[in-house]
């Protein structure tokens, strides 16, 4: 490291230009680094989801879940197999040990499921396999609500869906809710018998007509065109003109044996925002896209679309991941700025403003180098990386303080700037090198944290080690180079020792001298009473252990913070119709209507209601969920834990309903 400092001092101009270039590159990296909520890691979990329409939970467990589990048990690398059997659906969670290749695991699960398919009921749909990928979770959800009816809401949502899917950075937009149109064919059994037909004849005729088939290739000049023969229905009422069969040259049409009408599917779910019918649009971003930029673009497009909507239609944003990322980025910037100001202010007690600034510059410069390194490593600026950078800010000036202060001391002793910078840095080089290495060693065990949590936490030591290594590089190159060119002694320190000017100094000098005098007297006393100090230290150590053992409140991975949401999950007895479940959900909505500090109340019942914001996922006719989205903390009337307890109290006392009131899980 001493050699690195000597080379830097010998090529000061080169170091200055490189420093400026690295600073601009780091600033560019910071501006362009993708912002994400969570790092892109492989979660070794596969979900096997099977629909068995109309089956009771016991039948689902016996005829679907158990048969699939028998095949899935014994998979190589299997950590845990859990299942949930509910009305009409089976969900099996296959969890592998950390480090398992998820593609290979998925293929093995698919092979085992294929073996079990012949044993499943004929009415059961083919099992669906799904990986858990954090990047597939919606970054924002837009809910359209109003008193215009579910049909109009669905039409508006479909238009908005098309517009959002062309926004830069958007991967896909999933639409959930509203009424789904369908063609109803009500067959008259008497007319079927009259024509000598069976119901399957009608079904086959409709299926055969409503297809689009390839027609081969057509060569025209030097170009070749693919030809398709369209047969899919564009006007649903055309179904009545489908020919079932021709007898004696006379066709028998679908309309001859059935009534064809245009209607809607039976509802499997209900969703509301603040008591109004709603339709949800869940937006997923592309991998590597900036979550803040994508969310802002989505909200801007919603505002443009709002201008043409009929009166009474509202757009409510839920689950905006960019909000937390934006807050953490702001916290990081505030920490860098406040750290710079505080470091300079404190060091001005012993050094001049200019020299204190040499130390303070280590914070932003080390951060810029870290941003550049993060970008070159292919990582993103996610919440774990941001937290790690905030954690590291306070440690970035340690090396710079030691180097700059020692250079200043050498200059006080009359040594020229150039030689003082080299000699002083060499003098403390080993100390700051091994000090940094011990800090890196303290964080290094986090690299070996097992399981999925370990995959998340890997980014903490990775980022901290990058930042501390950057600060060490700055201390050995940039700091001594700056000092050799621009460091000046204060007027007080330029005076001969013992002179009147030197003795007087300023208030900062007197403060610094007072601190040194106090420290010297305490250190002298401690050295004169070594046995007492050692025994007192041991006593304090064991005293702390005893106090911790007496008042220890347990250990939790993430601290309990005031919730920003309250989640109410409802489960009705098996066999309950979705309309009945929705009535109970509506009753709960009424009970919660005057709770304080609630910004938005989102309610759902039926299929998909157990997903985060009713954007699909688990849930059946017996399930319901209400999400109370709270206003910002600084605007709340009361602690949100109190609001949580009030919600629990109001949710009690509904016969036959199992209700769970809780807050979202902390952490990843």
In a domain, 514, yes or no: no
Which residue, 451, 480, 496, sits at the end of a domain?
496
Same domain, 358 and 429: yes
pLDDT, one tens digit per residue, over 582-616 is 999 999 999 999 999 999 998 888 865 555 444 44
**Cross-sheet strand order for the sheet of 78-86:** 78-86, 89-96, 45-51, 128-131
Are 97 and 78 in a shared domain? yes
> pLDDT value at position 666?
60
Predicted local confidence at residue 271, as pLDDT: 84
Structure tokens at 454: 């370990």
Q: What is the CATH number of the domain that holds 50?
A: 3.30.70.1430
Q: Tell how strand 128-131 and strand 213-220 pair up.
A: unpaired
Pair (161, 299) in one structural domain:
yes
Residues of the chain with pLDDT under 50: 211-231, 497-504, 612-617
Cβ-based neighbours of 284, under 8 Å, separated by 6 or more? 135, 136, 137, 138, 139, 170, 171, 172, 173, 174
**Residue where one domain finishes, among candidates 496, 520, 535:** 496
d(CA 52, CA 59): 9
Domain identity same for 13 and 118: no
Please report, for the domain that includes residue 407, its CATH number: 1.20.1640.10
In a domain? residue 428? yes
- For residue 528, being part of any structural domain is answered with no
Distance, in Å, from the CA atom of 256 to the CA atom of 251, rounded to the nearest integer, reads 10
Torsion-angle region of residue 54: left (phi > 0), alpha (psi -120 to 50) or beta? left
With residue 50 as reference, give the H or E element that holds it.
strand 45-51
Which of 248, 264, 280 lies at the terminal end of a domain, its last residue? 264
pLDDT of residue 664: 81
Domain span at 622: 565-662
| Beta-bridge mates of residue 261 | 184
What single DSSP character describes residue 35? B
Task: Give the number of domains in the chain.
Answer: 5
C-alpha–C-alpha distance, residues 131 and 53, integer Å: 23
Distance CA 350, CA 361 (A): 17
Residue 501: CB atoms within 10 A of its CB come to 11
Spatial CA neighbour of 361 closest among 333, 342, 340, 346: 340
Tokens of 449: 């944290």
Same structural domain for residues 308 and 290? yes
Q: In this predicted structure, what is the pLDDT of residue 559?
A: 65
Q: Give the residues across from 601 on adjacent strands.
A: 628
Average pLDDT for the chain: 83
Residues 244 and 308 reside in one and the same domain: no
Do the beta carbons of residue 164 and residue 305 sit within 8 Å? no
Shared domain check, 258 and 162: no
* The pLDDT of residue 148: 82
In a domain, 77, yes or no: yes
* CATH (domain of 187): 3.30.2090.10
In 229-320, alpha helices (H)? 254-257, 291-306
Q: Note whether 613 and 571 are same-domain residues.
A: yes
Classify 594 in phi/psi space as left (phi over 0), alpha (psi -120 to 50) or beta: alpha
Residue 451 lies in a domain: yes
622 DSSP 8-state letter: T
Please indicate, yes or no, whether residues 410 and 372 belong to a single structural domain of this protein. Answer: yes
Same domain, residue pair 426 and 470? yes
User: Is position 507 within any domain?
Assistant: no
Structural contact between residues 90 and 64, judged by C-beta atoms closer than 8 angstroms: yes
Query: Does one domain contain both 33 and 119?
Result: no
Residue with tokens 């919600």: 647
* Residues 647, 596 share a domain: yes
415-431 pLDDT, tens digit each: 888 899 999 999 999 99
Let me know if residue 94 belongs to a domain.
yes
* Within-domain flag for 212: no
Length of the chain in terms of residues written? 668
* CA count, 13 A, side-chain hemisphere, 542: 5
């Amino acid at each position: 490291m001493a050699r690195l400092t000597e080379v830097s001092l010998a090529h000061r101009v080169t170091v200055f230009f490189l420093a400026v270039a690295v600073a601009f590159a780091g600033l560019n990296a910071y501006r362009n680094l993708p912002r994400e909520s969570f790092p892109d890691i492989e979660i070794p979990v596969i979900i096997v989801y099977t629909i068995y329409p109309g089956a009771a939970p016991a039948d689902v467990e016996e005829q679907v879940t158990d048969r699939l589990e028998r095949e899935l048990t014994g998979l190589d690398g299997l950590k845990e197999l859990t299942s949930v059997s509910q009305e009409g659906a089976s969900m099996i969670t296959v969890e592998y040990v950390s480090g398992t290749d998820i593609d290979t695991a998925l293929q093995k699960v698919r092979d085992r499921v294929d073996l079990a398919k012949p044993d499943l009921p004929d009415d059961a749909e083919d099992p669906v396999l799904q990986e858990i990928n954090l990047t597939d979770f919606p970054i924002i959800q837009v809910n359209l609500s109003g008193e215009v009816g579910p049909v109009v809401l669905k039409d508006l949502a479909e238009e908005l869906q098309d517009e959002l899917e062309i926004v830069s950075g958007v991967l896909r937009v999933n639409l959930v809710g509203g009424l789904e149109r369908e063609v109803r064919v009500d067959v008259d059994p008497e007319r079927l018998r009259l024509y000598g037909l069976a119901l399957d004849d009608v079904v086959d005729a409709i299926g055969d007509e409503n297809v689009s088939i390839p027609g081969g290739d057509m060569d025209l000049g030097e170009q070749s065109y693919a030809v398709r023969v369209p047969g899919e229905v564009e006007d649903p009422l055309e179904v009545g003109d489908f020919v079932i069969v021709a007898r004696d040259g006379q066709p028998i049409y679908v309309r001859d044996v059935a009534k064809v009408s245009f209607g809607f599917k039976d509802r499997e779910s209900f969703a509301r925002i603040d008591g109004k019918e709603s339709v949800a649009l869940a937006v997923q971003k592309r991998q590597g896209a900036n979550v803040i930029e994508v969310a802002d673009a989505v909200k801007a497009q919603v505002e443009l679309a709002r201008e043409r909507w009929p009166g009474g239609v509202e757009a409510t944003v839920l689950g905006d991941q960019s909000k937390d990322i934006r807050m953490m980025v702001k916290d990081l910037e505030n920490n860098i700025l406040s750290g710079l100001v505080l470091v300079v202010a404190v060091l001005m007690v012993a050094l001049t403003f200019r020299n204190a600034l040499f130390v303070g510059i280590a914070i932003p410069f080390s951060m810029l180098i870290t941003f550049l390194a993060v970008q070159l490593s292919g990582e993103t600026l996610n919440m774990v990386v941001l937290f790690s950078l905030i954690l590291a800010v306070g440690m970035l000036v340690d090396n710079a303080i030691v180097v700059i202060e020692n250079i200043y001391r050498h200059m006080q002793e009359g040594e020229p700037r150039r030689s003082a910078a080299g000699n002083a840095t060499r003098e403390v080089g080993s100390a700051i090198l091994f000090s940094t290495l011990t800090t890196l060693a303290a964080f290094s065990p986090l690299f070996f944290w097992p399981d999925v949590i370990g995959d998340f936490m890997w980014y903490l030591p990775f980022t901290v080690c990058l930042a501390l290594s950057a600060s060490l590089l700055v201390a050995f190159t940039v700091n001594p180079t700056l000092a050799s060119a621009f460091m000046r002694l204060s007027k007080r320190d330029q005076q001969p020792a013992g002179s009147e000017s030197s003795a007087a100094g300023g208030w900062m000098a007197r403060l610094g001298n007072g601190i040194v005098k106090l420290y010297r007297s305490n250190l002298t006393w401690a050295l004169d009473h070594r046995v007492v100090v050692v025994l007192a230290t041991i006593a304090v150590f064991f005293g702390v252990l005893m106090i911790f053992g007496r008042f220890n409140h347990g250990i939790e991975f993430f601290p309990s913070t005031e919730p920003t949401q309250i989640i109410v999950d409802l489960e009705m007895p098996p066999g309950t119709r979705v309309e009945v479940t929705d009535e109970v959900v509506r009753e709960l909505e009424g009970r919660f209507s005057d709770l304080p500090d609630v910004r938005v109340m989102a309610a759902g019942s039926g299929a998909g209601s157990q997903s985060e914001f009713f954007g699909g996922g688990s849930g059946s006719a017996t399930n319901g969920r209400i999400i109370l989205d709270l206003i910002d903390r600084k605007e709340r009337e009361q602690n949100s834990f109190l609001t949580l307890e009030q919600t629990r109290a109001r949710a009690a006392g509904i016969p036959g309903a199992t209700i769970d009131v809780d807050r979202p899980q902390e952490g990843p």
